[in-house]
Every structure is written in structure tokens, then in C-alpha cells.
A and B are shown apart, each in its own frame.
Chain A
Amino acid sequence: MNFLLAAAATNPPAAAGFQFTPALGMFLSFVLVTLGITYWSARKSTGASNYFAAGRGITAWQNGLAVAGDYMSAASFLGIAGMIAFKGYDGFMYSVGWLVAYLTVLLVVAEPLRNAGKYTMADVLAYRLSPRPVRAMASLSTLTVSTFYMIAQMVGAGALVKLLLPGVGYEAAVAGVGVLMIVYVVFGGMLATTWVQIIKAILLMSGSLFLSVLVLKHFDYSFAKFFEAVGKVPVAGPDGTIVHKDFLKPGLIFGLEVTKGWGPIDLISLGLALVFGTAGLPHVLVRFYTVPDAKTARLSVVWAMAIIGAFYIMTTFLGFGAATILTPANISVENMSAPLLAKALGGEIFFAFISAVAFATILAVVAGLTISASTSFAHDFYTNVLHHGRERGPGEEVRVARIAAFVVGAVAIFLAIKLQTINVAFLVGLAFAVAASANLPVIVLSLFWKRFNTSGACWGLGIGLLGSIALIVLSPSVMDPSGKGLINAVPWFPLKNPGIVSIPLGFLAAWLGTILSTDTTSQLKYDELTVRANTGLGAEKATAH
């Protein structure tokens, strides 16, 4: 990190236009370091378990950092800081759910998944269910979740880079991010992706910590003074005069009055999607295949929780710091709150550093999404569905995954450029809703319900996926009478977050599909799956290096 600062310090700040600014210098330093890592990884990433799972040799703390780096997107770093800066307390409510969700990962899925699976979430499902239909559905759901999430990240990246690096256009920014993520994944595989995520997590944590300390220093390291200022943030009143608002008071986003009564239910619905969806996000789940055994997987979740929790507590200082020190009136764009706060407190170089952190954040997340999508396509769909689990030649699966990563990346670049002007924030919510309503119910039921069968899994995945998409399309995120959404009409469904309806729907479909089918073959291997999941007998080993 120090060398990044040093590298940028030697570059004189430029005045205007497309010149060599400190921010650009730091962007380039990050790119160079990560490309170096990719080169190093490429030589080690031979063979499927090296390419898809980093040889299962990642340690607990490394994987903890990588999970954090995989998970904390620009939406959480810039989005939540901005939301707290503009809406106060309710923005912080977002922060809470992102951490608590990891308890589901820790208590329910991480260890059984590591013990019984190989590269993808579908491996666990395919154990005792009919592999081809289940893998086809699981792969569809994985690709859907990853693509939606990726487009949201890339559109955000384009908008962000345009703000942080004046002179670089939206298309160039999106293409740059896309090409880099393709390079990491195609050449460096899971090993390069992991290290990009680890570096990003370290950069993000140090940047946020330093910014938080600067905020506290501004208030003479006194929490009392800090919260006193939060109690009276100057905002523009209805008639243009400045009024002072208590930003610790809940209700500016989800309050009953602001949302015509639906706010608290929407918040609960969001919470459900987070708490049940995180444990069904393919790009988070694949991370547990990179460690040697279930115990390391467990420890790595705890590492991740320590890092993610510390970060989300710091969003209080970033967000409230921007609200009190800058005040909302002086922040041009909500998402720019944290970088602008860094500029005000730490000068041009620190602004450049925080901007580079934001850039690294996006890259690490999209790289994780790309590798999980391409792994699922190659392993689940190509090898196991199309070719009945047999490779036709050495290394075919990895080759297909590399091609898939390239295609997924290219499609994401194309869509992100096409969707430039559309508000795609709802796509992140949609990804979580699908993960919670389609993936999690079938993972849990296949691990813990003996009677569960193939028909139940297909129904659960299908209805969970379609239900979430349908409810989002009918929600205020897409249907907006004021013309801001994709469809210019009054929404049919009142909630922005479909979880409260779609998650029970997913479970119900999985249950109905099961009991309406007389298929009992899935029960034959239930003992085996239980023993594997609980003892780690026969689990995939780390490759010896």
C-alpha cells in the first residue's frame, strides 16, 4: 500500500482534462500489481482444481479477506456511505443486514458445502438428486444471479470512474473494468481472483480506517462531539431555508410516512433477502472450495465476519462524517460522499487513494462473479449436463470455463454500455432475492430433508427464480408512474424487495414439487450425503504443491 502512495506522490497533480492525476496514477499502480499477480497465478493454475479452486490451498485468514473482498461491493462502500450522508440512520440499517447474513453462511452452509461439494453449489445438490436436471437449473440460477449482479456493478463502475477520473468516458471505463476482469479470470483463474480480492480488502479496510480516524480527529477524538453534530445536520428545508435535522433519528428512508406504510415491511423483506440470500450467492459459496477442509472454511467465515463487521461499523463514520463535515448541500452526487470527504480531510492524494480503493472494490467483485459464472457453466452445464460428467479430452473443462469467462465478460460489457442511462440499482436486490428464494431453499432441503427429491429441487429453483424476477418487474423499482423506471405505470406489487413473498414461495414450491412426486431414489444416498457433510469423509483434498 505504501508503494502505491509513493508511486502516486511522484506524479504531479494535473490541472484539468485527461492528464496524469494522482487518482489515475493509483488506478494504474493497482492494475499493474494485479496483472503481476495474474501472471504469477497463470503459471500455477494448471489443472481443474487449481484453476477453479486455487488448489484448495488458501488459508483461513486469506480466504476470510477474500470473502470480504468478494462481498463488499461499491454499493456498500460508496452507496451506504452516501445513503447515511443523505438520509442518516436508515442508511446504517442497510449495513447491519450485510453482516448478520454471514451467520447463516457460518451455521448452515459453509461446512457441509465444503465437505460434500467440489467446485459449485450444484455439486451438493447433484449428490442424491438426478444430476442433469438439477445441475441445469442450478446453473441457470447461478448465471442469472451473477449476470444481474455484474451488470449492476459495471454500470456503477462506469458512472464512478467518470466522476473520479474526468476525461475518461463511460464506455471506456466499463470496457476497461470488463477487460481487466476477463484477464484476471481467463489467465489467472481462482488464484488470481483470490489475491485481487485479498488486496482489495486490505486497501478498503486501511482506507476506511484512515478516513474514520480523520473524521474522529476532526471532532477532537470525542464521540460526544461527533454525535452532537450528527444530531443537527444542516439540510435544505422545503422553502429553501436551512433546517437542522437529527440524523440519528430513524425514518428518512423506511419511515411509515415517507413510504405510505410499506417501509418497515420493505425493510424486513430486504433483511430476509440478505439473511437467506448471502448463503445462496454463488460467488460467495465457491470461495469455500478454495480452502483445504471444512474447519478452515468455518474459520474463514469468522475472519470474514470480523473484517466485514468492522467495515460496516466504520460506515457510520464515513456517512455521518460526510453529513456533518461536508453537509449534504456540498456533496454533488450521493455516491461521491466518501471520496469527497477524503478530499476535504486528507487532500488530493488521499482522495486519489480512496478513488483507487473504489475502483479496486469493483474489480474484485466482478472478477469473483465472472469466475463463479464461468465455473458453473463449464462444470455444471457443459461437462455434467451436456456430456454426462465426462471430459472428452484433457483440460477440456478448464478450457470451456476460460471461454465462458470471456463470453460472460463481453456480454456484461455490452449490456452495461446499453443500460447506461437506466437505474439498475434494483439488480443487486434481484440477485439477492433469487439467491434467497431459489438457491438457499434447495441447498437447505437437500442437506437436511431426507424425502427431498429431484422434482422438488427443480420446482424450487424454477419458481424461486421466476417468482423473484416477476415480483421485481411488478415492483416500484421497475414500474414507476413518474417515468423513472423501465415501465411507466403504477406498480402492481408495493414492495421494492420481493423476499418476504418470494422466499416462502421458493420453499413452498420445493416442498410441493417433492410431495407431488413419487420419486424416492433420492433417499438412497441421503445417508452418504449426511455422513460426508458431517464428517468430511471423502471430501476433496488440497492439491500438493
Chain B
Amino acid sequence: MPETPDSDLDFTPEVSAETDIARLGHSSPPPAHEQTADEDADVVDWGRVAAMDEFKALVKAKAAFVVPATLFFVVYYFALPVLVGWFPELMEKRVGPVNLAYLFALSQFFMAWGVAFVYLRQASKFDDRQNAIIAKLDLAKGGKSK
């Protein structure tokens, strides 16, 4: 059985925690996969990235997609309770085997999938721009951000 060291007498530094909260007793930086966001803090000059024209344009482009897309789905979704609640006669109109209320509710699913699909395509363009920004930074401690 290994001896349990008495913490009051044992002056060797504490072994690093298995978790990534406190890493005591190591002078070298932990390997990339063990680094926490805090340890990465000085890796990138955040202010410099934030001031880059490419970065500002990326944030703007994201907002230009996300804000209208959010407004669209919120309006489309809340049209359902409004129409069904206050205009039941309109919504009870028969369309084929079902009625307008059911069709409109069903259409919400396809609306949601549609917005998600369009966003996926848009987001892959954002990914490319993001990678271009990271490539431009030419990080000294390579491998940080691929």
C-alpha cells in the first residue's frame, strides 16, 4: 500500500489536479487539449482581432442574417396563435382533407427546418471567413486554433 503523505510535512508541490481548474506545481504550460479558456487568455491579442476590418465585417454579416431570420420565425410562429385565436372562421376553411388551421400548424415544422437549412449554408460561409481571420493572425503557439 502506498504511503499517504502527511500534507503538513510534505513540502513537495501538489500534483496537478485531474480537473483543469487548478494546475499547481507545473512550470511548463499544459498541453493544448488541457488548456482552459483562462490559460489561453494571453494567446490572442483580443483587442487586435476585434479591431480587424475582417472581424468587424464578419460580426456584421452574422447579425445581418440572424436578426432578420429571428424576426421572420417569431412573426411566422406567433401568427399561428393569433390567427387561430381571433380568426377561427378563417382557419376552419377546408383545404383538401384538412383545414387551414392544421395546414398552417404543419407548415411551422417545414418553416423551422427551412430556416435551419438556410442558416447551415450561411454559417459555413461564416466558418470560412472565421478561418481566414485566424490564419491571418499567424499565432505564435501554433495548433491553438487549428
The answer to whether B44 and A537 touch across the interface, beta carbons within 8 angstroms, is yes
Known: A107-B70, A116-B37. A92 touches B105 (CB 8 A): yes
Inside 8 A of A250's CB, which chain B residues have their CB? Answer: 84, 88, 91-92, 101
The answer to whether B108 and A96 touch across the interface, beta carbons within 8 angstroms, is yes
The answer to whether A391 and B21 touch across the interface, beta carbons within 8 angstroms, is yes
The answer to whether A534 and B98 touch across the interface, beta carbons within 8 angstroms, is no
Contact partner of A104 among B18, B70, B91, B130, CB < 8 A? B70
Taking the complex as formed, is A268 at the interface, i.e. its CB lies under 8 A from any CB of chain B?
A: yes
Inside 8 A of B37's CB, which chain A residues have their CB? Answer: 116, 118, 532, 538-540
Inside 8 A of A265's CB, which chain B residues have their CB? Answer: 85
Taking the complex as formed, is B9 at the interface, i.e. its CB lies under 8 A from any CB of chain A?
A: no
Per-residue B-contact encoding for A297-318, CB less than 8 Å = 1, 0 else: 0110110011001001100000
The answer to whether A275 and B77 touch across the interface, beta carbons within 8 angstroms, is yes
In chain B, what residue has the closest Cβ to A390? Answer: B22
The answer to whether B102 and A89 touch across the interface, beta carbons within 8 angstroms, is yes
Known: A394-B15, A395-B18. A531 touches B44 (CB 8 A): yes
In chain A, what residue has the closest Cβ to B62? Answer: A534
Taking the complex as formed, is A469 at the interface, i.e. its CB lies under 8 A from any CB of chain B?
A: no
Inside 8 A of B123's CB, which chain A residues have their CB? Answer: 295, 298
Per-residue A-contact encoding for B99-116, CB less than 8 Å = 1, 0 else: 101100110110111011
Known: A96-B109, A275-B74. A47 touches B19 (CB 8 A): yes
Known: A99-B108, A103-B73. A305 touches B116 (CB 8 A): yes
In chain A, what residue has the closest Cβ to B72? Answer: A103
Per-residue A-contact encoding for B67-84, CB less than 8 Å = 1, 0 else: 001100110011011101
The answer to whether A538 and B116 touch across the interface, beta carbons within 8 angstroms, is no
Per-residue B-contact encoding for A240-270, CB less than 8 Å = 1, 0 else: 0000000011110011100000011101100
Taking the complex as formed, is A528 at the interface, i.e. its CB lies under 8 A from any CB of chain B?
A: yes
Determine the main DSSP class of B at the interface with A.
helix
- Cα A255 to Cα B86 in complex, Å, equals 9
Inside 8 A of B32's CB, which chain A residues have their CB? Answer: 541
Inside 8 A of B144's CB, which chain A residues have their CB? Answer: 537-538
- Cα A499 to Cα B130 in complex, Å, equals 36
Size bracket of the A interface: 35 or more
The answer to whether A48 and B49 touch across the interface, beta carbons within 8 angstroms, is no
**CB under 8 Å from chain A, chain B span 107-146:** 108-109, 111-113, 115-117, 119-120, 123, 127, 130, 133-134, 144-145
Contact partner of B19 among A104, A263, A397, CB < 8 A? A397
- Cα A255 to Cα B123 in complex, Å, equals 40
- Cα A309 to Cα B113 in complex, Å, equals 8
Smallest distance from the beta carbon of B56 to chain A beta carbons, Å? Answer: 10
Smallest distance from the beta carbon of A464 to chain B beta carbons, Å? Answer: 19
Determine the main DSSP class of A at the interface with B.
helix
Smallest distance from the beta carbon of B116 to chain A beta carbons, Å? Answer: 5
Contact partner of B81 among A106, A268, A312, A542, CB < 8 A? A268
Q: Give the residue among B33, B81, B86 with the most A Cβ atoms within 10 A.
A: B81
Inside 8 A of B66's CB, which chain A residues have their CB? Answer: 107-108
Contact partner of A92 among B16, B92, B102, B119, CB < 8 A? B102
**CB under 8 Å from chain B, chain A span 490-537:** 525, 527-528, 530-532, 534-537
**CB under 8 Å from chain A, chain B span 1-56:** 14-22, 32-37, 40-41, 43-44, 46-47, 49-50, 55
Residues of B within 8 A of A (CB): 14-22, 32-37, 40-41, 43-44, 46-47, 49-50, 55, 58-59, 62, 66, 69-70, 73-74, 77-78, 80-82, 84-86, 88, 91-92, 97-99, 101-102, 105-106, 108-109, 111-113, 115-117, 119-120, 123, 127, 130, 133-134, 144-145
User: Other CB < 8 Å A-B pairs besides A100-B108, A538-B44, 17 of them?
Assistant: A48-B18, A96-B109, A99-B109, A100-B111, A103-B69, A103-B116, A107-B66, A107-B119, A227-B98, A249-B92, A309-B112, A309-B113, A391-B19, A395-B19, A528-B46, A531-B46, A541-B35
7 A–B pairs (Cβ distance < 8 Å), ordered by A: A47-B18, A227-B97, A313-B109, A535-B133, A535-B134, A539-B37, A542-B33
Q: Sort A-B residue pairs by CB-CB distance and give the 10 closest, nearest first.
A: A264-B85, A48-B19, A538-B40, A527-B50, A528-B46, A227-B97, A267-B81, A394-B17, A47-B18, A391-B21
Residues of A within 8 A of B (CB): 46-49, 89, 92-93, 95-97, 99-100, 102-104, 106-108, 116, 118, 223-224, 226-228, 248-251, 254-256, 263-265, 267-268, 271, 275, 295, 298-299, 301-302, 305-306, 309, 312-313, 383, 389-391, 393-398, 525, 527-528, 530-532, 534-544
